[in-house]
């Protein structure tokens, strides 16, 4: 037993996969792993920007950040990533961070099928099938003392009703929270631990577009009077993936400056 902080929270020499890892919360999570010595595979649809971001992060942290451009909203894309990881990491992976996501807003009586399918496919279907198909690689690395981890990035909008009319987004994020519990029950016997994080407002392309990248009003509405920072979200994710989080199973932890519990 070691209670030293470097042991409790270490992710050094681990292999992490972060979907949607080139910007926003995904970049924050990727940076947190890289800064602490983990190799990170990041995915996104836009190859040029993804490759540039991977090179930037590799240079910044001195650890391999490996890009793989793919559309994970369908099973074909999921299998392309699975095949790539199986080839390049035959000894398994330690962490899967299901972060890639999309949103869509439209009035209730005009909400389109396309806006429903795009969001639910990426936010809910993709994490299930990616976890399902990567279970063998996660199981290869997981042990009783040091289980592999899956962390699903949900949202506080899956826990409350937001002001914006984002019906498919709230449904998908509520769904991923319950799916987290179900997967946790299924996979814990395989030495794979599943948890979720429900972020509040963070600097991201998705939220930024909705508020013209002016977060001042949102920050004022948060009890902590600011939006989230990379340290907030990366620190929580590292906790869940480290020895310190090895007995936390099936939980959804909010990271929202107190918005859900204190307002």
Residues annotated as catalytic are: 169
- Give the Cβ contact number of residue 181 at 10 Å: 16
Tokens at residue 182, please?
A: 């179900």
Rounded Cα–Cα distance for residues 244 and 199 (Å)? 20
On whether the CB atoms of residues 256 and 200 are closer than 8 A, the answer is yes
Rounded Cα–Cα distance for residues 245 and 97 (Å)? 15
Rounded Cα–Cα distance for residues 220 and 224 (Å)? 8
For the chain, report the end-to-end CA distance as a whole number of angstroms.
Answer: 40
Rounded Cα–Cα distance for residues 81 and 259 (Å)? 35
Report the DSSP beta bridge partners of residue 149.
Answer: 95, 193
Rounded Cα–Cα distance for residues 20 and 145 (Å)? 29
Residue burial 17-41, b: 16+ Cβ < 10 Å; e: rest: bbbbbbbbbbbbbbbbbbbbebbbb
């Amino acid at each position: 037993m070691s209670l030293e902080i470097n042991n409790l929270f270490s992710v050094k020499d681990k292999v992490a996969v972060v979907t949607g890892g080139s910007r926003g919360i995904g970049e924050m999570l990727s940076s947190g792993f890289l800064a602490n010595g983990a190799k990170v595979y990041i995915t996104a649809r836009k190859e040029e920007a993804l490759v540039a971001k991977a090179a930037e992060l590799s240079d910044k942290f001195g650890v391999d950040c490996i890009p793989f451009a793919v559309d994970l909203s369908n099973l074909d894309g999921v299998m392309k990533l699975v095949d790539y990881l199986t080839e390049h990491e035959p000894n398994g992976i330690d962490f899967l961070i299901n972060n890639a996501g999309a949103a869509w807003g439209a009035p209730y009586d005009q909400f389109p099928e396309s806006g429903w399918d795009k969001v639910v496919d990426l936010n809910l279907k993709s994490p299930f099938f990616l976890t399902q198909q990567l279970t063998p690689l996660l199981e290869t690395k997981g042990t009783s003392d040091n289980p592999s981890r899956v962390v699903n990035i949900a949202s506080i909008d899956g826990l409350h009703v937001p002001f914006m009319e984002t019906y498919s987004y709230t449904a998908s994020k509520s769904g991923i929270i319950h799916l987290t519990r179900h997967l946790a029950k299924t996979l814990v016997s395989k030495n794979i631990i599943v948890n979720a994080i429900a972020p509040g407002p963070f600097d991201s392309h998705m939220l930024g577009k909705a508020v013209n990248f002016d977060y001042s009003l949102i920050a004022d509405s948060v009890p902590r009077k600011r939006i989230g920072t990379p340290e907030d979200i990366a620190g929580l994710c590292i906790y869940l993936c480290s020895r310190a989080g090895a007995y936390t199973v099936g939980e959804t932890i909010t990271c929202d400056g107190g918005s859900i519990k204190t307002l």
